[in-house]
Chains A and B, each alone.
Chain A
Amino acid sequence: MEASERWLAMLRGEKTDRIPTIPLIGGHCAKVMGKPDLGDFYTKPGFNIKAQMLSRELYKYDQPPMVIDPGYFAACWGTEVFQPYNPKMGAPTPGRAAVQTAEDLEKIELPDPKTAPWAKESLEMIRLAVDKKQMPIVWIQGGWVSATAGMLVELETFMIWMIEEPKLAKKALQMTADYAYLQAELFVNEFGADTWIPGGANPTDSNVLLSPDMFAEYPMPIVKKLNEKILGLGLPLFYIHWCSDHNKTIEAGHFDKIPFGENGVIHFGPEVSMDVIVKKFGKRYNLIGNINPPLMMTTTYDKWLEICRANIEIGKEAEKVYAIGVGCELPPPAPPSHVFAMTKAAELYGKY
C-alpha cells in the first residue's frame, strides 16, 4: 500500500493494512538532503517540498507534506524572525515582538495574508504541496496563546496581561485568530477546501505555562469560534499538536468544547500518557503516538524499536485510527536508523 493511501484513509477514519507512520518529521528532512542547517528547508518552497517527499520515500513513512509559514506566524505582524541558518537552530526563531506595550497593540493592523512578509513563499509552498495531491497539513496558527505570545506580543508581557490586563490579552488573541481566518479563507480560495487540511501546535497553551482556568478563559472560546468558522469554509478537519503537558486541561474537559472536525487528528506530547489519550479521545478522533522525541538520540536502535512497540500496543487499541509518531517534532539530528525504525515497528507490530 502507498504511503499516501494510508494517510488519506486515516483522514476518512479508515484502518488499512497497518497503522500509519506519522513521525512529525520536519527539519530532519534538510539533514536527509545533506544540509548542515535548516535555513533553506524553512525558506525555500521548492527545496522544502522536495526534501519532504524524498525523505518520505527513503524512510517509507506515511506523513504528508507539512507546510509551515517561513515567517513563523510572527513576521506577518512585524516581529523579527531569524531563519535557522545556524546549525544549532531547530526552527525559525522570533526575536523582538512587534507589540511591547498596550499602545503598540492599539496601533497594529491586521496583515494581508497575500502581502505579509513570507506570504509569497508560504503560498508557493502550499501550492507545491497541494500539487502532490496528498492532503498536506498547512499550519494555520491563530487564537492560541502559542500563536500570540512571542509572535505578536512579547511573551512575558502577554503572560502578565492575562492577569492584569485581560482585555488586552483577549484583543491580541482575537487578532491572531482573525488573521488565521483570513489565511484559511485565502488558501481555500486559492487551492480549494478539499486539497489540504489546517494544522497547528500549541506549546504555550500547555499547563507548563497556563492553568486550565486560564485556558478556558483566554484561548478556548476564541479558538472554538475560529475552528467553527474554518470548518465552515468546507475544510474537513484539523490536525492539532497539543504540545507539552495538557493533563490538567484534559481533566477539566476543556478540549471537548473545541471542534476539530470529524476524524480530526489529535497529537499529544509525551507528557500525556498514551492510555489517557486512547481513553479520552480514541473514539472521537484519529490519534498520533507520542514517544518522547529526545529518546531517539539517547537510546540504541533495539531499545528504540521496543519503545515504538510499547506505544503501538496501547495506541492500536483506539477505536479510530492510530499512527505511530513522536510526541513533538522529530529531532532534526535524530539518527536515520531510528527514523526508519518507526516504519519498521509499524510493519512488525502495527498490522491489523
Chain B
Amino acid sequence: MEEKELFEKLKSAVVEGNDKEMKKLSQLAIDNGVDAYRALIDGCAKGMDVVSDKYEKKEMFVPEILLSARAMYAALDVLMPHLKAEESKNTGTVMIGVVEGDIHDIGKNIVSLLLKVGGFEVVDLGKNVPLKTFVEKAKETKPDIIGLSALMTTSMMGMPEVIGMMKDAGIRDQVKILIGGAPISQKFADQIGADGYAPTGPSAIKAAEKLIGGN
C-alpha cells in the first residue's frame, strides 16, 4: 500500500471510529517501514481534525467521538513506541481536571484526547478534583497550562478559588489558566482572571495553542 493511501485509510478509520482497523493499519505502517510520526500526523491527526470539525458543525456527536477516541488510542499504542525522541517532544504540558464537586467529565475527556493528539503532554487529574490538588500538582509538574472544567454553577465557583490559591502560592504568573464547561462564558473568564476560555473541545486546542504561543 502506498504511503498516501495508508494515511488516507488511517484518517478514515479515525473518522469511522474503527479501532481494529486503526490497530491493523498502524502495525502495517510500522511493518512497512513507514515513519511513525508521519503516520500519526498525516494520517491519524488529520482524521481527528475531521472529527473536531464535524463535532463543531454538529455533524458528529459524542457517541461517535468516543469511538473515534478509542480508535485514536489504538493507533497511539502502536505508533508511540516508534517515535524518535525529538518527535515525541511536546508542544507544551497541560494539566487538566474537573473541579471539586463535579463529576461530569465527558467534555474534559474529549479535550484531554484532542490535546494529546495535538502534541501536548497531558496531566489528567480526573474529575471532582480538590481545589488544592490543582496547586499542589502544578508545583510538581510545572505545566504550561492548567485546564479547569465545570458543568455545575456550584462547582464553577471553585475556578476563581483555584486562581486565588495559585496567587497565594506564588505560581500564578508561571502558568496560564484555561477554563471551559457548559455554564462558563468569556465574561466569567474575564471576571475571574482566567487567561483563556473555550466553549467546545476543539476550540480548547486552539485556545491552548494560542496561550502557549503567547508565552
User: A residues bordering B, Cβ < 8 Å?
Assistant: 27, 38, 84, 86-91, 93-95, 155-156, 159-160, 162-164, 207-211, 214, 244, 248, 293-294, 297-298, 329, 331-334
Measured CB to CB, the nearest residue on chain B to A329 is: B153
Known: A209-B61, A248-B58. A91 touches B152 (CB 8 A): yes
Binary flags per residue of B150-163, CB closer than 8 Å to A gives 1, else 0: 00111111100000
Known A88-B131, A298-B188; 16 more pairs at CB < 8 Å: A27-B154, A88-B99, A88-B102, A88-B155, A88-B157, A90-B101, A90-B102, A90-B153, A90-B154, A90-B155, A91-B152, A164-B67, A207-B58, A209-B63, A244-B182, A334-B153
Q: Indicate if the CB atoms of A333 and B63 lie closer than 8 Å.
A: no
A155 to B103 alpha-carbon distance, docked (Å): 12
Give how many A-B residue pairs fall within 8 Å (CB-CB).
91
Residues in A neighbouring B70, C-beta threshold 8 A: 160
Binary flags per residue of B15-56, CB closer than 8 Å to A gives 1, else 0: 001000000000000000000000000000000000000000
Chain B: interface residue total (CB-CB under 8 A):
32
Q: Indicate if the CB atoms of A160 and B67 lie closer than 8 Å.
A: yes
A218 to B113 alpha-carbon distance, docked (Å): 27
User: B residues bordering A, Cβ < 8 Å?
Assistant: 17, 58, 61-64, 66-67, 70, 99-103, 106, 109, 128, 131, 152-158, 182-185, 187-188, 191
Residues in A neighbouring B66, C-beta threshold 8 A: 156, 159-160
B154 touches which of A88, A208, A244 (Cβ 8 Å): A88
Q: Indicate if the CB atoms of A331 and B153 lie closer than 8 Å.
A: yes
B129 vs chain A, min Cβ distance (A): 10
A209 to B101 alpha-carbon distance, docked (Å): 22
Q: Indicate if the CB atoms of A298 and B185 lie closer than 8 Å.
A: yes
B177 vs chain A, min Cβ distance (A): 17
Residues in A neighbouring B109, C-beta threshold 8 A: 156
B67 touches which of A155, A163, A210, A297 (Cβ 8 Å): A163
Q: Indicate if the CB atoms of B103 and A297 lie closer than 8 Å.
A: no
A297 to B191 alpha-carbon distance, docked (Å): 11
Known: A27-B154, A88-B99. A155 touches B106 (CB 8 A): yes
Q: Indicate if the CB atoms of B101 and A86 lie closer than 8 Å.
A: yes
* Interface residues of A, dominant DSSP: loop
Q: Indicate if the CB atoms of B61 and A211 lie closer than 8 Å.
A: yes
Known: A88-B99, A88-B101, A90-B101. A214 touches B155 (CB 8 A): no
Q: Indicate if the CB atoms of B153 and A297 lie closer than 8 Å.
A: yes
Q: Indicate if the CB atoms of B106 and A156 lie closer than 8 Å.
A: yes
Q: Indicate if the CB atoms of B61 and A294 lie closer than 8 Å.
A: no
Residues in A neighbouring B103, C-beta threshold 8 A: 93-95
A211 to B65 alpha-carbon distance, docked (Å): 12
Residues in A neighbouring B101, C-beta threshold 8 A: 84, 86-90
Measured CB to CB, the nearest residue on chain B to A91 is: B152
A38 to B58 alpha-carbon distance, docked (Å): 35
